[in-house]
Structure 1
Amino acid sequence: MLIPALRGAAGRLTRLVLLLAAVAVASFALMVNSPVDPVAAYVGADVAAIGPEQRALIAERWGLDDPAPERFLSWFGNLVRGDFGFSATFNQPVLDVIGDKFLTSLALMALAWLLSGVLGFALGLVAGARRGRAADRVITWWSYTLASAPTFWVGLLLLYAFAVSLNWAPVCCAVPIGVPAAEVGLLDRLHHLALPAITLSVVGVAPVVLHTRQAVIEAMGSDHVAFARAQGERGIGLVRHRVVRNAAAPALLLQFGSLGELFGGSVLAEQVFSYPGLGAATTTAALGQDVPLLLGIALFTTVLVFAGNAVGDRVHAAVDPRAALADAGRRT
């Protein structure tokens, strides 16, 4: 048992290293070919006031006048030594920026992830168990509508409805404006967190609902459910004992595999609600052509998504042993 486990871990590590290398090369190529002038982005509104000498000094200071392959190899060499570079946008080391901003985003993404998973699974169970009835039609229509709705559009609607019109939620930010973060209590933080988290969860709930519904429909049509019905099982008891476990496996796999979409949604949600997390930092770095920070965020999110998929595979195999047997069969 130990040797196959070590082989599996070595294989996953090799895939992760190759994936990180591909992401690094592709991300750097996209940034180098971006139409945004990095010097103009760094200087800002005063760019017209500086002359060619000053532009050349800034480019030399940040290594922008070096050939692209040389810049990439220099960055990669520093990365191997554990140096992710320095963010000109935030005037901090890249790792410090990612650590600080990710902690701010963690509560938002974790709450949205939990809400979308629980709500999506519950609604999927109801829709699948009530297939063809009013509840199924309403839930399915709602899910397809949300699946095609952009995150920023949903966020703007919720912002207008609950923050502007009803005044139930703050318009922006992670803490009250003008109050130091260290002095903000838990209730105030949750008050500012609620609307962005609901925006992310509302958009992310649709795939979970639709996949769970399909899994429930397949389980309800299986032989073991037909046998249970012949034994007199009906209603909620039948779904709880015979269907939930089969439907939970694909829902969990999808939920753990959706971390990339969750982060992409957080970029838009944080912009709408001016939430100072990693998503907002990504947008700021992109507009400012902060290449070291963008590369660091790209590698960090790659590891996050890869880890989520690996955990999802493990949880899926634990909930549905047939998946583990099928995977072992493919490897042999």
Structure 2
Amino acid sequence: MKKSSIVKFLFQRLVKLMSLLMAVCLITFVLMECSPIDPVTAYVGADTKVGAEQRALIGEHWGLNKPPVERFTLWFTSILQGDWGTSMIYRRPVLEVIGQKFSASLALMGLAWALSGIIGFILGIIAGIREGKVADKLICAYCHLLISTPSFWLGMVFIMVFAVHLGWFPVAMSAPAGVLAEHVSLLDRISHIVLPAWTLSLLGIAGICLHTRGKVTDVMRSDFIVFAKARGENTKSIVLNHVVKNVSLPAITLQFLSFSELFGGAIFVEQVFSYPGLGQAVVQSGLRGDVPLLMGIVIISLIFVYIGNMTADLLYRVIDPRVREAHKGQWKTTIQSE
């Protein structure tokens, strides 16, 4: 793929991202305005000593006394200037809160993403080459069971079995309670992240596995596989030399496209395990009317998901020449029709 084509592709994607960010931010702001949650009430909590005058001062301090259009305009102007505002919940700059929460979520989602891709790909190949046999039926049944299982329920089952009854892993959080950050060892962090990461990875295994299985069955029925068998190649040679090469690209593409499902699942998993990541911050900011933090998280999460989709599309264009030729043909046809 030529450098000019990549630059053109990235520029088009950047324009789409900007327009998408504008639309999503506007919709999020409107939904928060229609929400019955009062940010001032959520801010002061159950403190009955706060009078009406103090509540008005709090609303004025956070700019809640201004009209919605003016508040959105001020927020958008500040974003363009690099100021993302201050979180009402944490009383800290939004970027600082997001940076801390996102680093924790990135470790969780990165580990779950890698596990789901590797395990799903291997199970998909095994099911595909054993089509119709016991292994295939068991793997397909397992995947369909995972698809229909809610992530929060699966997380609670893991807590009851592996944390409460067996005591192998901690119940919740990302580090031991009451221990300073500098005293938390790497082993402590690993033990706290195992259950959330395993819960989140199981959600992505089914999609990768079933998709890979379908591609493997198509490849195994193709003419060149029949020819390879006729030449005396064994199953191991056929899988390594033909099957893996033909099904790896679609599996990798689907894995990058799963960023949105990964982020959505992380919200529920982090709530169940009280994991202090970005997903938990989304729920807190929404329930407590923290608009600056929620809008910042929306922007970061949208960019995160968009990068995954763009990477999948770029991989297809770079690796598979048929996709490039199809887009070139489509572009030429559009020019000629105009």
| TM-score w.r.t. length of structure 2 | 0.94
Paired residues of 1:173 and 1:192 also in contact (CA < 8 A): yes
1:10 aligned residue: 11
1:38 aligns with 2:39: yes
Match of 2:137 in 1: 137
Offset of residue 286 of structure 1: 1.2
Please state whether the residue corresponding to 2:45 is helix, strand or coil.
Answer: helix
Residue number in structure 1 paired with 2:217: 217
Q: Which residue of 2 aligns with 1:281?
A: 281
Contact 1:246 / 1:320 at 8 angstroms: preserved in 2?
no
Please provide the CA RMSD for this pair. 1.4
Question: Where do 5+ consecutive residues of structure 2 fail to align?
Answer: 333-338
User: 2:46 is paired with a residue of what secondary structure?
Assistant: helix
Q: Distance in 2 between matches of 1:255 and 1:2?
A: 25
User: Is contact 1:245-1:319 (8 Å) kept?
Assistant: no
1:329 alignment partner AA: G
| Cα pair 1:164 1:171 within 8 Å, conserved | yes
Tell me the TM-score normalized by structure 1.
0.96
Per the alignment, do residues 180 and 169 of structure 1 end up closer, same or farther by CA in structure 2, a change over 3 Å counting?
Answer: same
Q: How many residues align?
A: 331
**Matched letter for residue 224 of structure 1:** F
- Once the two structures are superposed, residues 140-186 of structure 1 have per-residue CA deviations (whole angstroms, 9 ceiling, x without a partner) of 11111111211111100111110001000000111111111221111
1:218-267 CA distances to partner (integer Å, 9 max, x unpaired)? 11122222221222223121111111122111111111111111111111
Distance 1:258 1:165 in 2: 33
Q: Structure 1: any 5+ residue segments left out of the alignment?
A: none
Identical positions, percent? 48
Q: Secondary structure at the match of 1:233?
A: coil
CA shift, 1:193, in A, is 0.8
8 Å contact from structure 1 (residues 173, 273) kept in 2: yes
Where do 1:142-161 residues align within 5 Å?
Answer: 142-161=142-161
Q: Distance in 2 between matches of 1:295 and 1:158?
A: 32
2:20 is matched with 19
Residue 97 of structure 2 aligns with which residue?
Answer: 97
Runs of 4+ in 1 over 6 A off after TM superposition: none
107-116 vs 50-59, which deviates more? 50-59
Residue 326 to residue 233, structure 1, CA distance change in 2 (3 Å): farther
- C-alpha deviation, 1:89, in angstroms: 0.5
Matched position secondary structure for 1:49: coil
Pairing of 1:46-65 with structure 2 (within 5 A) = 46=47, 48-65=48-65
Alpha carbons 1:172, 1:275 under 8 Å: kept: yes
Residues 136 and 319 (structure 1 numbering): CA distance in 2 closer, same or farther, change over 3 Å?
farther
Range 316-325 or range 225-234, more displaced: 316-325
Cα distance in 1 between the residues matched to 2:101 and 2:309: 23
C-alpha displacement at 1:318, in angstroms? 4.3
- Kindly state the Cα deviation for residue 54 of structure 1 after the two structures are TM-superposed: 2.0
